[in-house]
């Protein structure tokens, strides 16, 4: 319904959403949440099969977006580990490899993915939700923050490992559930009684991946971050965008995360 505009670029691919639902069989003591929870079982196998993914964490759950044309490869890759269903007329219908075998080609081994630079700004973030019926009360503030409050982005040097601050605000509305990521200074502008967060009220720090626009074609970017964090049982909240990818980790773990990612960079040289 959006009118054509010279200012709007639309990717030529159609994407499908994978919603990964846990069956509760995680090993005892496993506390990692977000993208790290599905790194080994979903993200790494898809990267190995050269499937590009977009990752969207929300307050409630995590979503993986894959190109529609990659669906046969996705199903063949994940069918051994997961029961796969598709939604038809509001009902979940089982999917088997035979359903998508037509046209399936075994992918060629993927080349080693590019290890993109990572940056860690000092900005502290909150991950929040709001009750849908309270959204009108903060609508004006949301519009102001989303469209009018931010200064133009500053150019960042590709090799820089640290920035004092970063402008980042993410709002998603999926199936009636609202998820917001904002920095602690922006949070002060909103009514505190309407913003809901976890009982621990933990703060998060960001690792931003990429020194130039990443685009949507390259595979393995999410795996570059998720795999080492999963190995260390570190929670992460992940948002892919056209320009950069963003992983938020608990504030107390940022030093360990930077060390893990730096070790991975060094070992690849």
Residue spans per domain, the chain:
1-149+162-268
pLDDT at residue 161 tops 50: no
Selected residue with higher pLDDT from 224 and 246: 246
Asked whether residue 210 carries a pLDDT value surpassing 80, the answer given is yes
Give the CA distances from residue 213 to residues 115, 167, 209, 243, in Å, rounded to whole numbers and listed in that order: 14, 16, 10, 4
Q: What's residue 100's pLDDT?
A: 56
Of 264, 195, 200, 225, the residue nearest 44 (C-alpha): 225
The predicted structure's pLDDT at residue 127 = 93
Determine whether 118 is exposed, middle or buried from the number of CB atoms within 10 Å of its CB (0-12, 13-18, 19+).
buried
**Residue 90 region by backbone torsions, left for phi larger than 0, else alpha for psi between -120 and 50, else beta:** left
**What is the average per-residue pLDDT within 150-172?**
65
pLDDT at 122: 93
The predicted-structure confidence for 232-251, as pLDDT tens digits, reads as follows: 888 899 999 989 999 999 99
Q: Are 118 and 207 in contact (CB under 8 A)?
A: yes
Per-residue model confidence (pLDDT) at position 128: 93
pLDDT digits (tens, 9 = 90+) for 36-70: 778 888 999 999 999 999 999 998 888 999 999 99
Task: Tell me the percentage of the chain whose pLDDT exceeds 70.
Answer: 82
pLDDT at 116: 85
Query: Alpha helices, DSSP H only, in 148-240?
Result: 184-187, 221-231
For 4-23, write each residue's pLDDT tens digit: 899 888 888 899 999 887 66
C-alpha torsion angle, residues 192, 57, 14, 77 (rounded to 10): -170
Q: How many CB atoms lie within 10 A of CB 247?
A: 30
Overall average pLDDT of the 198-202 stretch: 74
pLDDT per residue as tens digits for the range 68-89:
999 999 999 998 888 899 888 8
Which SS3 state, helix, strand or coil, does residue 30 take? coil
Question: Taking a C-beta distance cutoff of 8 angstroms, is the pair 32, 233 a contact?
Answer: yes
State mean pLDDT over 177-195: 92
pLDDT, averaged across the chain: 83
Angle ∠(88,94,99) on CA atoms, nearest 5: 90
Out of 3.40.640.10, 3.30.2130.10, 3.10.129.10, 1.20.1090.10, which CATH number does the structure's domain 1-149+162-268 have? 3.30.2130.10
């Amino acid at each position: 319904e959006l009118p054509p505009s010279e200012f709007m670029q639309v990717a030529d691919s159609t994407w499908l959403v994978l919603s990964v639902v846990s069956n509760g069989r995680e090993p005892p003591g496993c506390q990692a949440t977000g993208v790290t929870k599905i790194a080994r079982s979903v993200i790494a196998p898809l990267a190995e099969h050269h499937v590009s993914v977009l990752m969207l964490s929300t307050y409630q759950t995590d979503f993986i977006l894959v190109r529609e044309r990659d669906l046969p490869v996705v199903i063949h890759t994940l069918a051994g580990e997961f029961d796969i269903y598709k939604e038809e007329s509001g009902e979940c219908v089982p999917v088997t490899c035979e359903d998508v075998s037509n046209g399936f080609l075994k992918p060629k081994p993927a080349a080693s993915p590019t290890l993109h630079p990572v940056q860690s700004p000092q900005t502290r973030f909150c991950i929040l939700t709001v009750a849908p019926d309270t959204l009108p009360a903060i609508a004006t503030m949301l519009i102001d923050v989303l469209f009018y409050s931010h200064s133009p982005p500053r150019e960042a040097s590709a090799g820089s490992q640290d920035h004092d601050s970063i402008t980042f605000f993410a709002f998603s509305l999926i199936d009636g559930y609202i998820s917001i990521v904002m920095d602690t200074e922006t949070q002060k502008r909103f009514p505190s009684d309407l913003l809901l967060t976890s009982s621990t009220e933990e703060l998060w720090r960001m690792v931003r991946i990429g020194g130039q626009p990443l685009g949507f074609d390259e595979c393995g970017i999410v795996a570059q971050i998720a795999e080492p964090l999963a190995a260390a049982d570190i929670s992460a909240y992940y948002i892919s965008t056209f320009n950069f990818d963003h992983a938020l980790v608990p504030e107390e773990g940022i030093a360990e995360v930077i060390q893990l990612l730096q070790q991975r960079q060094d070992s690849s040289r």
